[in-house]
Amino acid sequence: MPLHAPRRAALRAMLVDQGLDALLVTDLLNVRYLTGFTGSNAALLVAADGEKRTVFCTDGRYQTQSRSQVPDLERVIDRPCDLALAARAGKDGHRAVGFESQHVTVDGLDGLAGVVDGLVRASGLVERLRLVKDDAEVDALRMACAAADRALVDLIEHGGLRVGRTEREVARELENRMLDHGADGPSFESIVAAGANSAIPHHRPTDAVLKAGDLVKLDFGALVGGYHSDMTRTLVLGQAADWQRDLYDLVARSQAAGRAALRPGVDVRAVDAASRQVIVDAGYGPQFLHGLGHGVGLQIHEAPALSKSGEGTLSAGMAVTVEPGVYLSGEGGVRIEDTLVVRENAPELLTLTTKELVVV
């Protein structure tokens, strides 16, 4: 397909640079990225010397689906797919065959080694390509973010956030509204955390009842075409206390500093530092309990990591989150999160729901 052939061409250039004759791709997300195939069993042998010797494999359940989704490659119907393509690599005379060592088990490696000689660890090659999103990927991310934005607006406008409801009820309605707006499903289990629970960064919704004066933290996202959105908004039920407004303003300033630092060529640790320093200067450094953000795409958490221990620099086209938070145990917490795409002049904001403090 026109969408996936350029990705395979970029991978072949990497294989040539690595001195590899072929790469055996066994991670299903990487297979999807390179072919468009969405089934549960597949592998791909990408030949460095061109498409003619690049072979896709799946099993008999997916004959019709693979014919539609992967019409531009030779298809093999067999299983196990990794061993079938490893044998094909040997038959085609590939001497240096890379494999995705980060995804292959020890037993799996033993099986491959028994079929083909010249196996070479080739960890993270496809993931390196996936770091920078192409136009089709950004379009999918935009749609995923839009579905989440609209769901939250609907939830608020239709009274879904109100005193007396439980966290679980709110989470269920929010996820249903994302489906109503075109999502294939939620990106992950939605976080709805009210009152003191909002101070738990990854709280799971419970039967806790929302009360007047609660901070309510909503961390959620929509899945569209395999791509994930991620957004957090923190609201107040009823009248906001001064300490809640102050805490929200601090996190909002930190988040704005992190967004402003998103530029091509900037070290990921510097982005984290720009946002974190705002909170440290206010005396709440120990209450910022996690990294600033992460990449998003075919996975909800993927490279790059925006954190104190992150590695690498930003490039135009990377899709990342910026999500500082301050968590006061036993009282409440605030997190504000957006999904953005790094651009040359300023990042493109994909999650458009207001970041002003909303009091419901």
The answer to whether the CB of 17 falls within 8 A of the CB of 128 is no
pTM score, whole prediction: 0.95
- Taking only the tens place, the pLDDT of each residue in 250-278 is 999 999 999 999 999 999 999 999 999 99
Mean pLDDT along residues 282-308: 98
Mean pLDDT along residues 310-325: 98
Least-confidence region, from 103-107, 136-140, 205-209, 336-340:
103-107
Q: What is the pLDDT of residue 2?
A: 75
Mean pLDDT along residues 222-235: 98
- Taking only the tens place, the pLDDT of each residue in 104-150 is 999 999 999 999 988 999 999 999 999 999 999 999 999 999 999 99
The fold of 135-349 is Creatine Amidinohydrolase (3.90.230)
Task: Report the first-to-last Cα separation within the chain, whole angstroms.
Answer: 48
Residue in the structure block whose two tokens are 């999160």: 337
- Cα-trace Rg, the chain: 23
- Report the mean per-residue pLDDT for the chain: 97
Half-sphere exposure of 68 (CA within 13 A, CB side): 5
Q: What is the pLDDT of residue 1?
A: 53
3-state SS class at 336: coil
Q: What is the pLDDT of residue 257?
A: 98
Could you tell me which CATH number the domain at 5-128 has?
A: 3.40.350.10
- Taking only the tens place, the pLDDT of each residue in 6-61 is 999 999 999 999 999 999 999 999 999 999 999 999 999 999 999 999 999 999 99
Contact residues for 303 (Cβ-Cβ < 8 A; gap 6+): 127, 131, 294, 295, 312
Mean pLDDT along residues 342-350: 97
Report which of 199, 165, 201, 167 is spatially closest to residue 292, judged by C-alpha positions: 201
Tokens of 283: 């005396």
Angle between helices 5-18 and 28-35 (to 10 degrees): 120
Annotated domain spans of the chain:
5-128, 135-349
The rounded distance, in Å, linking the Cα atoms of 356 and 360 is: 12
- The percentage of residues in the chain with a pLDDT greater than 70, rounded to a whole number, is 100
The answer to whether the CB of 15 falls within 8 A of the CB of 48 is yes
Please, is 102 exposed, middle or buried when counting C-beta atoms within 10 Å of its C-beta (0-12, 13-18, 19+)? exposed
Q: Helices marked H in 72-221 — which ranges?
A: 81-91, 106-113, 125-130, 135-157, 167-180
DSSP state of 347: P
